[in-house]
Structure formats: C-alpha cells, structure tokens
C-alpha cells in the first residue's frame, strides 16, 4: 500500500491506500495506532485506480507527504504494521543557526570559564553568570562544540560542575541544559556518555541524570531526547504557556517517531518513572493532557 503522513501542529496522521481487485482500499488514523480500514467497490480495477489517484491528489494538496515504498515495505505485519511504517521525520528547528565567528567563540569561552570559576556564589550571582553564558552561546547558536576544542573544554568545565561533590561548587542541572539547548545536540550525547554517565552515589542529580540516560537510550536520538528531557526537568516556575507551546510543537514528532517502532505516546509516557517526584509527575500528566 502507498502511505502518506501529515505531521503539523497537534496533528500526526497517516493515510494508506491500494487497489485490490475492484476495490479501492484505505487505512487511516493517528500515528501510533493501527488505524481504520475502509473499502469501496468499483465496476473495474481501472475505475478503482482512478479513484485512488484522485484521493492521493487530494491528500497531497492537504499537506500529506508520501513515505518511501522501502519504509512501508519494511513495516511489521499485524495491527501495528501501519503505524510502524512511518518514515524518519525532521524535527522543527530548535534554534536559528548563527555564524560562529572567532570573536563570538572567544566571548563564549570567556563567559563559560567565568561561570566554571564561580564557586560559593549566592544563587542570584550564579544565575546571572548562567544567563550571561547562555546569551553568549545564543550568539553562536547551533555550533558544534567539538569543532572548536577550546570552546568544548570551556563547556565541559561547566557541565562537570553539575556533579560537583560540594553544593557550593555546583551548577544547576536545569541551567546546564539551557546551555546545551543553544548548541548542537552532539554535545548532549557526549556529556551523557561521559561526565554525566555515572554521577557520584547519592548525588542530588543522580535521579534526573538516570532519567536523562533512560530517555536517550529509549529514543536513541540525541536531538529529540534533549528536547524531551529539557521539558521534563524544566523549572516549576517556568511559564506554563511557553512550556505548553514547546510541548505541542514537539509532541506530534515524538508520536510519529515512536510509531516507527510500533510504540505510542501513551506507552512512552507510561514508561517514565517519576520516582515520587511531584514536579516530574505533573510534567508527565501535562504531556498526557496535550
């Protein structure tokens, strides 16, 4: 069957069609479901085929995109086969790429080094340095830190402080995630496989980093995982409207991504263990509510 998908706003749908004998057949529904099947008989196979081409043209005008035949053929048989045939989807841009000039790179390095050196500071002073570092990274948004060794070292110096033994030496995990959201997702994958892989036993960040590691493993996509983790762990005081907008923007793509492996958004959210954290429980419930 030919397969078409529509992912936009809060919609994530598929539509499949074929001609079988004299029958025009469609299967349609939300990504992550097996969909509904309908058949309509015509006087001849040619008449059924003309109806199929007419409906395909309508779907294309509506914004549906055809999935490659290879992806559709690779779908598993059974009730979840239709959903699992989804093609890889590009996520909406997380940021606007900015030119990483030598001057901007150096400014970011100095800002990160200043943040890494700030120890025993009052929370407001540390937050001010965090915001300064975030703005410096915004000016080189999308940069790949590993392509600039001095920048990578400076960023690592900050990320390492997330798991510092002494409370006065720590950079908040949520603040560090805000820095990672300004650069290429390869930096998130690197720190999760390195500095943050094994936080000290009993460290306050251990549950959150365990959650981040689990989501990265479950989704197997650093970019998608970074966005989901940032939403799950965002500050309780973060504006609810902004959080909801970011979730609604990414959720159809997450749903489509999960459908490729025969899973669903409901199952995925149900697999997240909040470990009794009321804030995390609230975020999961908000995601369920859409």
Torsion sign (Cα): 219, 239, 186, 119: negative
State the Rg of the chain over Cα: 23
Residue 80 CA to its chain's centroid (Å): 22
pLDDT, tens digit, for every residue of 250-276? 988 888 888 877 788 999 999 999 988
Mean pLDDT of the chain: 87
Q: Which residues of 176-194 are buried (b: 16+ CB within 10 A; e: fewer)?
A: bbbbbbbbbbebbbbbbee
pLDDT, tens digit, for every residue of 177-208? 999 999 999 999 999 999 999 999 899 999 99
Indicate whether 82 pLDDT > 60: no
Please state, in angstroms and rounded to a whole number, the distance separating the CA atoms of residues 95 and 141.
7
Please state, in angstroms and rounded to a whole number, the distance separating the CA atoms of residues 144 and 100.
9
8-state DSSP, 78: S
Q: What pLDDT does 161 receive?
A: 95
pLDDT, tens digit, for every residue of 98-128? 999 999 999 999 999 999 998 766 788 899 9
Retrieve residue 262's tokens.
Answer: 């025969």
Contact 257, 221 (CB under 8 A): yes
Retrieve residue 290's tokens.
Answer: 């859409």
- pTM of this prediction exceeds 0.75: no
pLDDT, tens digit, for every residue of 48-70? 999 999 999 999 988 888 875 44
Q: What pLDDT does 253 receive?
A: 85
Determine the 3-state secondary structure of 95 from DSSP.
coil
Q: What pLDDT does 76 receive?
A: 42
Tell me what percent of the residues of the chain surpass a pLDDT of 90: 60
Domains assigned to the chain: 2-84 (2.20.140.10), 102-289 (no CATH)
């Amino acid at each position: 069957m030919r397969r078409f998908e529509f992912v936009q706003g809060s919609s994530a749908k598929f539509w499949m069609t074929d001609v079988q004998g004299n029958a025009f057949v469609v299967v349609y529904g939300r990504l992550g479901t097996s969909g509904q099947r309908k058949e309509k008989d015509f006087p001849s196979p040619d008449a059924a085929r003309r109806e199929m081409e007419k409906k395909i043209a309508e779907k294309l005008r509506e914004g549906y995109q055809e999935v490659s035949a290879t992806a559709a053929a690779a779908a598993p048989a059974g009730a979840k086969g239709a959903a699992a045939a989804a093609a890889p989807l590009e996520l909406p841009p997380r940021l606007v790429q900015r030119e990483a000039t030598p001057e901007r790179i150096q400014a970011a390095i100095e800002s990160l080094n200043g943040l890494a050196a700030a120890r025993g500071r009052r929370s407001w002073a540390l937050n001010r340095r965090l915001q300064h570092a975030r703005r410096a990274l915004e000016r080189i948004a999308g940069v790949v830190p590993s392509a600039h060794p001095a920048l990578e070292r400076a960023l690592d110096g900050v990320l390492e402080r997330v798991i510092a033994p002494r409370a006065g030496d720590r950079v908040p995990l949520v603040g560090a995630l805000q820095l990672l959201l300004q650069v290429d997702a390869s930096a998130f994958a690197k720190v999760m496989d390195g500095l943050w892989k094994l936080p000290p036993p009993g460290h306050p960040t251990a549950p959150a980093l365990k959650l981040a590691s689990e989501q990265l493993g479950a989704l197997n996509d650093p970019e998608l995982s970074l966005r989901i983790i940032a939403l799950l762990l965002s500050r309780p005081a973060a504006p609810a409207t902004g959080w909801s907008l970011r979730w609604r923007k990414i959720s159809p793509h997450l749903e489509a991504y999960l459908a490729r492996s025969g899973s669903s958004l409901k199952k995925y959210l149900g697999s997240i263990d909040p470990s009794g954290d009321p804030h995390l429980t609230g975020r999961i419930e908000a995601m369920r509510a859409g």
